[in-house]
C-alpha cells in the first residue's frame, strides 16, 4: 500500500484544508498521457473504487488503475519558499 512521509502528510492536510468538506483529500490517478505519470487533484471525497490511504489525518485517494503501481511506493512532498508543493514517489525499501 502507498505510504506517506511526514512531509507528505502535512502537505496533503494543508492542501485538503482548501476543500469545503471534511472528507476531502488528494486524489492520485493515472495521467491521460502515460509519459506524464500520474495526475494529482484535490477531491471532496474518494471516487468509487478508490483506495483510501490515511496517515496522521491526511487522506489520499488512489485510483484503481494507479493502485497496483503505487502499492510499494512512498509519497514525499517538498514545500518551496513560494508555498508551492512538489510531490515525489520513491520505491519502498
Domain that holds residue 58: 3-91
The total of structural domains in the chain comes to 1
Calpha distance 17→64 (Å, rounded): 24
pLDDT higher than threshold 90 for residue 75: yes
pTM of the model: 0.91
- Write the CATH number for 62: 2.60.300.12
Q: Quote the pLDDT of residue 39.
A: 93
Q: In whole angstroms, how far apart are CA 10 and each of 4, 30, 33, 66, 76?
A: 10, 23, 29, 22, 10
Confidence at residue 56, expressed as pLDDT on a 0 to 100 scale: 94
pLDDT category at 4 given cuts 50, 70, 90 is very high
Which residues are registered as beta bridge partners of 7?
none
- Helices (H), ranges, the chain: 6-16, 64-67
pLDDT tens-digit readout, 15-55: 999 998 989 999 999 988 767 789 999 999 999 999 999 99
Comparing 3 with 22, which gets the higher pLDDT? 3
CA distances 4 to 17, 20, 35, Å, are 17, 23, 24
Amino acid at each position: 500500500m502507498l505510504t506517506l512521509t511526514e512531509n507528505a502528510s502535512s502537505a496533503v492536510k494543508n492542501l485538503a484544508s482548501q476543500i469545503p468538506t471534511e472528507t476531502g483529500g488528494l486524489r492520485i490517478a493515472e495521467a491521460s498521457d502515460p509519459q506524464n505519470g500520474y495526475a494529482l487533484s484535490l477531491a471532496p471525497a474518494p471516487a468509487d473504487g478508490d483506495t483510501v490511504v490515511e496517515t496522521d489525518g491526511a487522506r489520499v485517494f488512489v485510483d484503481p488503475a494507479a493502485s497496483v503501481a503505487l502499492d510499494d511506493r512512498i509519497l514525499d512532498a517538498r514545500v518551496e519558499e513560494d508555498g508551492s508543493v512538489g510531490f515525489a514517489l520513491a520505491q519502498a525499501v
